[in-house]
Amino acid sequence: MIPLSDSLRSRSTPFVNYALIVLNVAVFIYELSLSGNSVRVGGQTLTATDRFMFDWGTVACRVTDSCPLLFDRAFGTAPNPWLTLLSATFIHAGLLHLAGNMLFLWIFGDNVEDAMGHFAYLLFYLIVGVIAGLAQVAASPSSTIPAVGASGAIAGVMAAYLVLYPGATVHVLIPIIIIPWFTHLPAFVLVAVWFVLQVISGVGELGGRATGGEGGVAWFAHIGGFIAGLILVWFFRTRRRSYDVRQQHDRFGWG
């Protein structure tokens, strides 16, 4: 399911949400500028983009100090691994990765910011992003693959949206093979189904590792960020809320 819009309208301008989207896009443009360049690390040639990912993405074995010697020789030292729990939330592995995350942030983030206030929303976003990274590290403590992306933080935003606006309506696109189906869903249905899919995928990935497989999505970052958002929203929310256009239309007999 791809969300396209929702029925809520913010009472304030979501400056922080806009800034987060701009920052993510700016970092991705910087990544693109590295394309075609290469660097020598530990006697091995890496693309500058790969080096950027390994330096600033969250490599779990660096956080847990369990990287194999060959990994350290190949990729060298990096910034403080704990700092990468924050920096990784602004790095994306490709255009579709970025676009998908920013779409969800655009639709759900503005209303959560409206309910929390600008500074509190920024603090909430960063905290759930770090917790999401820690959840992924806990799930794969010896992984040598950098985990990147804003999806863990955005999962926390979606959880907050679920608590704050369960009755909101989301306009979604559901691709059925090659046929696009447009419909409206209650926010609690969309977000709940999304979370259940993350849990199923995460459990499936654990099973895949047991048989020698390896996943490419940080499912446990999504799960950890979502659970963190469900808990922390109660400490960050205020009485302010975005207004629901559809409810106003129903009340006054519009449309």
d(CA 171, CA 7): 8
Residue 207 tokens, joined: 């099973």
Tens digit of each residue's pLDDT (9 = 90 or more) over 120-131: 999 999 999 999
> 38's torsion region: left (phi>0), alpha (psi -120 to 50) or beta?
beta
Q: Tens of pLDDT along the chain (255 residues)?
A: 889 999 999 899 999 999 999 999 999 999 999 876 665 555 566 778 888 888 899 999 999 988 887 776 667 667 788 999 999 999 999 999 999 999 999 999 999 999 999 999 999 999 999 999 999 999 999 898 999 999 999 999 999 999 999 989 999 998 887 788 888 999 999 999 999 999 998 888 776 554 334 556 889 999 999 999 999 999 998 888 787 876 654 443 433
Domain range for 175 is 2-252
Could you tell me the pTM of the whole model?
0.89
Q: Which residues pair with 61 in a beta bridge?
A: none
Q: Number of folded domains in the chain?
A: 1
Q: List the one residue out of 226, 243, 153, 236 whose CA is nearest residue 192.
A: 226
d(CA 168, CA 243): 9
What does residue 182 show for φ and ψ, rounded to 5 degrees?
-100, 135
Residue 160 contacts residue 234 (beta carbons within 8 Å): no
CATH code: domain of residue 77? 1.20.1540.10
